[in-house]
Amino acid sequence: MKRLIQHGLMFANLFEVSSPALIERYNRALDHLTGKRTKLDNFHIDLSGFSPEVGDELGDMDYLNPGGCNRQIILLSTQQKDAPLLEMKFSTTQNIIRDFIAANEAQLFTLTARDAVAGELQNSVFSVPEPQSLLDIRSVTVEADTTTGIVRDAAKLDKLIARFRDEPDAWWDDVLVAQMIGLARTTGDVTRAPVTFETPSFRQDDFWTAHHGGLYVFRSVGSPAVLANVPFEASGIDVHDLANRNGVANFLQVNGLTQPIVEGRGEAAAGILREKMEHLAIDALGRAGQLPEAIDDRSLRRAMQARGAGLPPSVHALGAMLAWAEGRGDWPRIDSANPAYFHTLRAAPGPLRDLTNMLLAELAPQDFRQLHICHKPLFYDLYRASPEPLKAWVAERLTKDYAADRAGVWKHLYASDVAAPMPQVVLTKAVRAKGPWG
């Protein structure tokens, strides 16, 4: 993993904690949440306040996420909003924390100037011993406060102020006035600078989770379903096996979640297909121990030419689509039985775009760039188990093809309006005739 770190492909943009004041605030929050403290004098934290260095020191990479269900957070600065989220268990966690920071940035800026803000993302369940338990999750509530309880005290002061204003004899209530003065010493003037958090609760209808082998929950679509690596019995919703490519393809098509990754002939479409072919070839050659030592385009082309017959069918299918995009051939029929099928799709625009792209990346993991962009947990798992020559090629290609222009590459691959009319990518006849539910 050292290559990824050196190239800025892992642990990039973490927030550095090195000043004694910040370290002490972090320790107060850590002790408040877990009863533990760190002895490190320099470490880095992610969006939620998790530190891989502290996790290594404590021997517990889940020290802020016990049980993997209700993630705890430590905010030292609003600058954490630009950091990535590590050790992700739910796909919605990152957006929830970022939305929470964005909605309360002014309050958090003021509070973190003096203290750390600690809290928890509370699901409607406390543990998920069975897959069915995941379906009980409907919302996530963000509960947060400083380690000294300023937000809690501000709420108390608000109630006392309301009493003071409403009760006719409040002016003469010395106990009430004394309580208000005492709380105001720590909270400040809450009438002019409110210390409350907005939008603390978030809907959780559609999400990916790493629990129980990894599964995707789609509940806001026309035909709701769960797509799981380890299928299970569930009441009130269909469960599809991710290994059943035809069933998954039907689900995506019925709900209008995907569109072709190329929108027509032209150099832009050809470029996407050419890059995908190269990524699939690198993956196949790397796992076969046939990657050249020199990491450059010319060496890769020679290797692909020399071992073309041995490359997987998905590479040849994308090659036929590339020929069409360049005007050198007819539109190839690539249905859901073809190993290249999910490589030809991307998510349609809409609120489920990122979750669908994450699913497509898992269904087509040979495209390591797409996997790195859309499904980092799976990317890191597969990278860790890859042969060393393949790791070297992947790190170099990601640095060249993605890290140099992350926003441009993302827009090139995924940020598209609804696809223009083009030849239809169809499902296999058997599935199209029968349908996914018989």
Percent of the chain with pLDDT over 90: 58
Positive or negative: CA dihedral 115, 92, 409, 311: positive
DSSP 192: T
Residue 172 within any structural domain of the chain: no
CA distance 347 to 359: 9
CA–CA gap between residue 334 and residue 329 (Å, rounded): 14
* pLDDT, greater one: 203 or 262: 203
Contact 266, 325 (CB under 8 A): yes
- Residue 288 in any domain: the answer is yes
For residue 196, the model assigns a pLDDT of 72
Binning pLDDT at 50, 70 and 90, where does residue 429 land? very low
Same domain, 245 and 268: no
pLDDT tens for each residue of 299-312: 999 999 998 888 99
Is residue 348 within 8 Å of residue 310, measured between CB atoms? no
Asked if the structure places residue 163 within a domain, the reply is: no
181 in a structural domain = no
Give the pLDDT score at 395: 94
Q: For 47-51, 262-266, 288-292, 376-380, which range has the lowest pLDDT when averaged over its residues?
A: 262-266
Residues 133 and 47 in one domain: yes
* pLDDT band, very low/low/confident/very high, at 422 (cuts 50, 70, 90): very low
**Crossing angle for the helix pair 313-325 and 267-287, nearest 10 degrees?**
170
Instruction: Look at the chain and report how many structural domains it folds into.
Output: 3
Q: Are residues 224 and 331 in the same domain?
A: no
pLDDT band at 252 (very low <50, low <70, confident <90, very high): very high
Please check whether residue 87 is in contact with residue 111, taking contact to mean a CB–CB distance below 8 angstroms: no
pTM value is: 0.85
- Domain with 92, as residue range(s), is 2-149+195-203
Within-domain flag for 199: yes
Give pLDDT, residue 157: 66
314 and 278 within one domain: yes
Residue 89 lies in a domain: yes
C-beta of residue 214 within 8 angstroms of C-beta of residue 220: no
Q: What confidence tier does 181 reach under pLDDT thresholds 50, 70, 90?
A: confident
Q: Are residues 53 and 108 in the same domain?
A: yes
Residues 285 and 414 in one domain: yes
Side by side, the strands of the sheet bearing 117-122 are: 72-75, 117-122, 139-146, 201-203
Looking at the structure, tell me whether residues 222 and 283 fall in a common domain: no
109 and 232 co-located in one domain = no
pLDDT at 247: 95
pLDDT tens digits, 108-133: 888 888 889 999 998 877 788 899 99
Structural domain contains residue 133 = yes
Model confidence band, residue 7 (pLDDT cutoffs 50, 70, 90): confident
* Mean pLDDT in residue range 254-275: 84
Q: What's the mean pLDDT in 163-182?
A: 70
* CB 340 within 8 Å of CB 334: yes
Kindly tell me if the per-residue pLDDT of 385 is higher than 80.
yes
Which residue in 361, 379, 411, 332 sits closest to 258, CA to CA?
361
Number of H helices, E strands in the chain: 18, 12
Question: Burial level of 53, CB count in 10 A (0-12/13-18/19+)?
Answer: middle
More confident residue, 9 or 249: 249
The last residue of one of the domains, among 163, 178, 203, is 203
Higher model confidence: residue 304 or residue 161? Answer: 304
**pLDDT of 265 above 70:** no
Q: Give the per-residue pLDDT at 190.
A: 44
Same domain, 294 and 199: no
Mean pLDDT on 75-83: 95
Measured distance CA(18)–CA(159) in Å, rounded? 39
Same domain, 312 and 214: no
- Among 14, 3, 23, 134, smallest CA distance to 85 is for 14
Place 239 in a pLDDT band, splitting at 50, 70 and 90.
Answer: very high
Q: What is the chain's mean pLDDT, rounded?
A: 86
Do 335 and 369 sit in the same domain of this protein?
A: yes
221 part of a folded domain: yes
Domain-ending residue, one of 203, 220, 240:
203
Crossing angle for the helix pair 297-306 and 267-287, to the nearest 10 degrees: 70
The verdict on 267 and 145 lying in the same domain is no
The secondary structure element, H or E, covering residue 141 is strand 139-146
As a whole number, mean pLDDT of residues 338-350 equals: 93
